[in-house]
Amino acid sequence: MSHPSQLRHVVVVGGSLAGLMHALTIFTHCPTTKVTILERSPTALLHNQGAGVVAGSDTQAFFSQYVCPGQDFAVPSTQRRYLDRNGDVIQRSAEDREQRMTSWDTLYRFLRWRVDDMDIEDYVSGTNLENLKDRLSSYGHGKADYQYGCNVRSVDDLGVSGGVRVHWINKSGGAEELTADLVIAADGASSSVRRALLPSVERKYAGYVALRGTVPEDQISESATKAFVQKFTFFHSEGTQILAYIIPGENGTLEPGKRLTNWVWYRNFKEDGPELQDLMTGKDGSRHRITLPPDQMKDDVWTRQKQDAKETLPPQFAELVNKTVHPFVQAITDNISPTNEFCGGKLLLVEQDRRRICRYDFRKRLEVGFFAFPVQVAGKSFEVPGQS
């Protein structure tokens, strides 16, 4: 791969968190490099995932320095603990440990503002926005070319002296191509780039799903408030695990009472079993392999999930499930690539973790920030003046 200072054009495939963080890393430290982002979603703004994120130390460092310095974007949690079936704290399970909880939507909107000037005034405005811009002035404010509706079909290695050519179909159905010095494939678990490079690496169902949802903080009971506010709370049982914590509310608000209670419920279902088939079939009868979007779950299926929650979960968790209006489901899958570097280092594949991640090793799943760090892109170090 060329030295970072010699990169003229970088193409990032994927415009969600991983792609945005890499794009920001590149043009912050290589301001003369052109960055093009190719996102397959047909809309300019990705749909709010309605998902909570535990902001690890790398995420906090990255955002605090390069995205929104001085602007809080997370809710503090001071304790991790486990409940028993009756909803009581399991003796000696409580661990005093400060963590920061945020939401996918908050991270995404701040990153889009930094990367391609998407409006952020619903999240921060007026004097606060001007002060934020001032704190970022030393980094400049580069802008990537963010294109949506782009379905990447193939990539070509143009040899030692050439770059990598990316072919895609645009939102109008026309064929386009670009040649870049570096391509970063950050297009998720269903990566079209990985599929083109490694057709034998298949995305396989791991044996369980994640049901997810949120409940407004001001709609939960006193018992649930005690269980989840400023706490990261879990329940384990055979074939199931559920966790919950508080995240920012609408437009990233951190005001108590206006935040959201985020929960994730992992459940085992056999791949060829009727329960999974029913769960992943939408109201219109279409079968979803990976994600059943919000508002698509059939009423009788959701009623059954809510009843299961009452019968198997601690009452505080059962309350969250039963008060959720817009649940969605993700089938958990495995797809581990044998390498993440191709075309002589000119194409880099970004993956959450190249090891198997299961629900009982959930820290990596919940934390983001290991995609990019200020002076690195997928392990390729940037030389930044004034930094070691």
Kindly state whether residues 9 and 53 are assigned to the same domain.
Answer: no
pTM of the predicted protein model = 0.89
Residue 73 within a domain: yes
C-alpha to C-alpha distance for 89 and 151, rounded to whole angstroms:
48
Kindly state whether residues 225 and 184 are assigned to the same domain.
Answer: no
* 363: three-class secondary structure by DSSP: helix
* 132: three-class secondary structure by DSSP: helix
Kindly state whether residues 229 and 296 are assigned to the same domain.
Answer: yes
Least confident interval from 63-72, 98-107, 365-374: 365-374
Residue 34 within a domain: yes
Residue 123 within a domain: no
Q: Report, as an integer, the average pLDDT of 306-327.
A: 98
339 in Cβ contact with 301 (< 8 Å): no
- In sequence order, the 6+-apart residues with CB closer than 8 A to the CB of 304 are none
What CATH number is attached to the domain comprising 176? 3.50.50.60
Between strands 34-39 and 145-148, the pairing is parallel
* 121: three-class secondary structure by DSSP: coil
- In sequence order, the 6+-apart residues with CB closer than 8 A to the CB of 65 are 374
Strand partners of residue 263:
213, 244
Kindly state whether residues 328 and 343 are assigned to the same domain.
Answer: no
**Band of the pLDDT at 384, cuts 50, 70, 90?**
very low
Q: Which domain holds residue 374?
A: 4-42+149-202+336-361+368-381
Kindly state whether residues 295 and 279 are assigned to the same domain.
Answer: yes
Kindly state whether residues 194 and 324 are assigned to the same domain.
Answer: no
Instruction: List the structure tokens of 264.
Output: 């994730």
pLDDT of residue 381: 47
Instruction: Give tens-digit pLDDT for 2-16.
Output: 555 578 999 999 999
Find, among 326, 309, 327, the residue nearest to 318 by Cα: 309
pLDDT of residue 358: 39
Residue 129 within a domain: no
Residue 188 within a domain: yes
In the chain, how many domains are there?
A: 2
Residue 271 within a domain: yes
Least confident interval from 272-276, 322-326, 355-359: 355-359
Higher pLDDT, 327 or 125: 327
What CATH number is attached to the domain comprising 305? 3.30.9.60
Higher pLDDT, 178 or 136: 178
Q: Is the dihedral of CA 120, 264, 331, 294 positive or negative?
A: negative
* 317: three-class secondary structure by DSSP: helix
pLDDT of residue 1: 54
C-alpha to C-alpha distance for 164 and 185, rounded to whole angstroms:
12
Listed in sequence order, the DSSP H helices in the chain are 17-29, 57-62, 104-116, 126-135, 192-197, 222-228, 274-279, 299-312, 315-323, 363-366
Kindly state whether residues 288 and 373 are assigned to the same domain.
Answer: no
Residue 223 within a domain: yes
Residue 305 within a domain: yes
Kindly state whether residues 154 and 56 are assigned to the same domain.
Answer: no
**Band of the pLDDT at 220, cuts 50, 70, 90?**
very high
Instruction: Give tens-digit pLDDT for 145-169.
Output: 999 999 999 999 999 989 999 999 9
Kindly state whether residues 194 and 310 are assigned to the same domain.
Answer: no
Opening angle at CA 11, ends 380 and 46, nearest 5: 110
C-alpha to C-alpha distance for 94 and 80, rounded to whole angstroms:
6
Kindly state whether residues 327 and 219 are assigned to the same domain.
Answer: yes
DSSP 8-state symbol, 361: G
Q: Is residue 353 scored above 60 in pLDDT? A: no
Kindly state whether residues 213 and 85 are assigned to the same domain.
Answer: yes
* 57: three-class secondary structure by DSSP: helix
Find, among 43, 64, 147, 149, the residue nearest to 110 by Cα: 64
Instruction: Give tens-digit pLDDT for 31-55.
Output: 889 999 999 999 999 877 678 999 9
C-alpha to C-alpha distance for 334 and 109, rounded to whole angstroms:
28
Kindly state whether residues 235 and 282 are assigned to the same domain.
Answer: yes
Least confident interval from 17-21, 294-298, 310-314, 375-379: 375-379
180 in Cβ contact with 166 (< 8 Å): yes
pLDDT of residue 140: 64
Find, among 365, 359, 357, 331, the residue nearest to 204 by Cα: 331
Q: Report, as an integer, the average pLDDT of 97-117.
A: 95
Chain centroid offset of residue 255 CA: 23
